[in-house]
Amino acid sequence: MAVAKRRKPANWNNLTLKEKYQQHWESKSFQPSDQSITRFGKGFVFVNTVSLAVEGFALLLPHYFSAAASVKGSDGNSANTWLIVSKLATVYLCLGTAFQWWYLHDGSADKVSKSTSEGISQDEGLPQGWLFCSTCKLYSPPRSHHCTVCNICVLKRDHHCFFSGSCVGYHNQRHFIIFLFYACVASAYGFFMQGAYLKREEGVSYFIALLAMWRTMTRQSRCLHLVLLLHFYLCGIIAVACVSFVSWQFRIIFRGQTSYEAVKGFTKYCKIRGDADGVEKGNKKPKIWYYGNFVSACGSPLEFLFCIVVPFVKTKLPGDGIKWTT
C-alpha cells in the first residue's frame, strides 16, 4: 500500500533550513497511539515468554542441576531426572501462559452485538441499566461500556489490557487472572534460576547493576551475563506487578465490582448475603456475599481451580453477562 506524501507548504523553498527543521519538528506527534502500545504489549509478552523458555532449556536448568549434583555429590541419574522434570514444568508454564493469553485475547464472547439487544426498544422503554451507544448504534446492557481502542461495547467491561490487545470483560476476566498467575509463576521461576546462575558464575556483588556494567565494559564479565541480569530484574518486576494486579482483581471480584465501578464507588450489583434474591431481611446491616460475587465472575471454586491446574480448557460461567439483579 502506497504511503501518501506529506504536502509541503507553499513557501517551503523560501524558508531557511532552521525554519524547515522547526516546522518539521512541530508537525510530528510523539505521543504513542493505542495501536502501537498494544503491539508493544503483545510483543513484550511473546518475547519474554520465549526468552524464559530458551534461557531455561539452553543454559539455566542444565547449569543448575549439574552444579547441584557436584555440590551434593548425587549420582547423575537423579540430576538428569530432575532436569527432565524441570524442563517439562517449563514447557507447562509457557504453554499455560500462551493458552490463557489466547483465551484473554479472544474477547468475541464479550462483544455487544445486535443479538445481545434483540427485543430492546426505546419506544417500549429501556430496561433498567440499559443505555444506547451512539458509536456502535446499539443498545448495551447494564455494566457494559464502549472501548475506544477496540471500538466495541464490552459486556461487564473492566479495563482494556494492552498486553493482550483486548478488553477484560465478563467472559474472559477469569482467564485474565489465570494468565497473570502463570505469568507470575513463570517470572518467579526465571527470577530464581537466573539468580542462582549469576550468583555461581559472578558472585553476589554482580547483582549491583552499576558494578555489573563496569565489569562488562572492562571485559571482566560476559555480555550474556549482563543481559541475564537485566532480565533477572525484569522478571522480578513482572512477578511483583502480577501479584498486585491479581490482588486488585480479587478485591473487586469479591465486592461484586469492576475496576470502573470500584473507582466510582458503585456497589449496585454487589450480591448481598440473605435470601435467594440476595436481599438481606430485617433491619440488620447488609453483609457482602463474597462467595456469590466470586461465582458470578469466575464460576465455582472447583471449576476455577480446574482451569488453573489444566489451563488448556475453558469452562462456562453461570450467567450471560447481560442480565443483572440489583
CB 152 within 8 A of CB 162: no
Average pLDDT of span 189-205: 92
CA distance 205 to 298: 45
Beta strands in the chain (DSSP E): 131-133, 138-140, 145-147, 152-154, 159-161, 166-168
- 254-261: average pLDDT: 92
Q: Domain spans of the chain? A: 37-115+153-309
User: Exposure of 163 by Cβ count < 10 A (0-12 exposed, 13-18 middle, 19+ buried)?
Assistant: buried
Angle 301-251-113 from CA coordinates, rounded to 5° = 75
Model confidence band, residue 81 (pLDDT cutoffs 50, 70, 90) = confident
Average pLDDT for the chain = 85
What is the distance between the alpha carbons of residues 102 and 67, in angstroms, rounded to a whole number? 37
Q: Which three-class secondary structure state does DSSP give residue 293?
A: helix
Q: Is 2 exposed, middle or buried (0-12, 13-18, 19+ CB in 10 A)?
A: exposed
- Taking alpha carbons only, the member of 203, 261, 195 closest to residue 229 is 195
Q: pTM for the whole thing?
A: 0.84
321 with 169: CB under 8 angstroms? yes
With a CB cutoff of 8 Å and minimum separation 6, the contacts of 150 are 107, 160, 166, 167
What percent of the chain is predicted at pLDDT more than 90? 51
Half-sphere exposure of 149 (CA within 13 A, CB side): 18
Among 312, 44, 42, which residue's Cα sits nearest to residue 164? 42
Instruction: Tell me which DSSP letter residue 111 carries.
Output: B
- Residue 249 confidence (pLDDT): 96
pLDDT in tens, 103-160: 999 888 888 888 887 777 766 677 888 888 888 888 899 999 999 888 999 999 999 9
- Bridge partner list, 153: 146
Nearest-5° angle of CA 131, CA 135, CA 138?
45
pLDDT tens digits, residue range 168-182?
A: 999 999 999 999 999
Is residue 265 very low, low, confident or very high in pLDDT (cuts 50, 70, 90)?
A: confident
The CA radius of gyration of the chain, in Å to the nearest whole number, is 26
The label of the residue with cell 472447583 reads 302
Instruction: Give the residue-averaged pLDDT of 62-84.
Output: 71
Residue 3 has what pLDDT? 45
Return the percent helix, strand and coil in the chain, to nearest 5. 55, 5, 35
